[in-house]
Every structure is written in C-alpha cells, then in structure tokens.
Structure 1
Amino acid sequence: MHADVIIEVPFHDVDTMNVVWHGHYLKYFEIARCKLLDQFHYNYNQMRDSGYAWPVIESHVRYVQGIEFEQKIRVRAVLKEWENRLKIEYLIFDAVSGRKLTKGYTSQVAVHIEKREMCFQSPQVLLDCLNAWPEFKAE
C-alpha cells in the first residue's frame, strides 16, 4: 500500500549551499501522497466531492542527509492508518544509490465540509474506496 515518485530537484528548491530548503520536503511528501491517493481514487477532488476536507493536522520530518540541486530522488508514501485518520509515512531515497535521505509522516483528519465538524472516524466513502483498491489489505 504505497506509491513512489521520482523527482529531479529543481534549482528553485535549493538554498545558497545548494541544499534543498527544509520546507520543500513537505512539498515532496505531498507529491507522493497525491499519487498514493490517486491509486485508490480518493484524491482531493474526490474528497471534496464526497463532502469532506482532509486537512493535515500533524507533520514530522527527520532530515537524514541533505538533498542537492539536480539530485534524483525517489519519494515513497505508505498508507499506515485509515480508520480514524489518514496517517501516511514517507521515505526519500537517492534514486541512483538507494541511500535513505529523509523520513517522516503526516496525519490528516476528515472534516465534514457543510457542518464544519471534525469526524472522529473516517467516513465510509474512504473505506469503500480502500476496499475497492486491489492492493488494499486491511491488517
């Protein structure tokens, strides 16, 4: 239950030391997260259309080794929790050597758009999408 994306680091993502600015790591997580959500057909447009927003309520990044301009990286998003929130873990690797560069996670909760209320359980629509996903195996 994961998705991988390959990114070549653009110049506008690095600082004067030629290293990716720390805030851009969350952008790389987001790119991989969208690919993962696309796989089970519940990305942000489908979330909105189903009546729910899923704001990120927590994020964590552990910077293992700096990433540099033009470096090719592989970002993996792994679905870890879904019953009460979406918790997605991320790993960033050098695409050539496979060396681990960064790890982290984000947590998102469902908010009923019309009522503007947070849900304490994931809505049935998410569970239906996951159950229809051939790669999904509830543990």
Structure 2
Amino acid sequence: MKPKPLTHATSYRVIYGDTDTMGVVYHANYLRWFEIGRTELFRHLGLPYQKIEDRGLMLPVSEVKCKYITPARYDDIIIINATLNTEFRAGMQFDYVITSEDGSVTHTTGYTRHAFINKQGKVVRPPAFIRELVQAVNRKGRDQ
C-alpha cells in the first residue's frame, strides 16, 4: 500500500505589494509562496530549516515547475499546500497546490526540487537525519 503523503497547509493574505498593475499577483510571487509552504512544512515536521543549515547543509532549488491556473488578487486569502514527495530520491522534492481559502479555486500547482550541498558548495547525498525524516513520514502515511 502506497503511503499517504504528508501535506501541510499555510494560510496567507495577498498584500498589495504582491500584485502587478493589472491587480493580480505578480507571477514570481508564487515561487516565494512555494518557499513559505516548504519552510512551514519543515517546521511542522519538527525540523526548522535553520536546523538543517546549522548542520552545515543547504537545499538550493535545482528545478522548479509552476503552472498558473487562476490568478489570485489583492486581499485574497490563499492556502499554500506543500507536500513532501517521498518518492524523489536524489535530493528532496516538494509539491505545491495554492488554492483559494475555501479550496474552490486552484490558483497554481507546481514543485521544487532541491539538491543537498555542504558549506563548500559541493553536492552531497541526503544525510541520515533527512532519510530518517522521510522514512518517518512514510510510516505515518501508512498508519493513517
């Protein structure tokens, strides 16, 4: 049985500075919201991103996909759903769905892939504490 993926939802209100002259959210801001989503997912898992950096590792984005579906607008409340994709093995992948507050409108879907690098900028394998976290997420998903 395939484990249920772990998803964390973060609420965000669109501020005026997020919009362009057409009154819709500027496209690059969705990537910022992806970052908010994955950061809050890490925090939810008990591993704030700062703790990863404290261990001498960083997770730069190596690939991103963002599919724009319906624009969000000033003062909308959006929900950033970030899911840890436990099937991706080379680093980490997070999948995203950004919706309206009530979930009736999907604004954006996408993913980010991340490599692990050390302080010298060298790509390294996912460390044991991250592999254990992914295994725990998989176990939790099977138990639900």
Where on the TM-score scale, by shorter chain, does this alignment land: which range? Answer: 0.7 to 0.9
Task: Choose which of 38, 43, 53 in structure 2 pairs with 1:48.
Answer: 53
Shift of 1:98: 2.1
- 1:31 maps to amino acid: I
Residue number in structure 1 paired with 2:132: 128
Deviation at 1:100, TM superposition (A): 1.1
Q: Does 1:2 align with 2:4?
A: no
TM-score normalised over the length of structure 2: 0.84
Tell me the TM-score normalised to structure 1 length: 0.87
CA contact (8 A) 1:50 1:125 kept: no
Q: Distance in 2 between matches of 1:39 and 1:135?
A: 14
Structure 1 residues 135 and 59, CA, compared in 2 at 3 Å: closer, same or farther?
same
Alpha-carbon separation, structure 2, partners of 1:127 and 1:29: 22
Which has the larger helix fraction?
Answer: 2
RMSD over aligned CA atoms reads 1.8
- 1:36 matches 2:41: yes
- 2: distance between equivalents of 1:24 and 1:49? 27
Alpha-carbon contact 2:70-2:105 (below 8 Å) kept = no
- Unaligned 5+ runs, structure 1: none
Q: Percent identity?
A: 24
Is residue 2:115 matched to residue 1:109?
yes
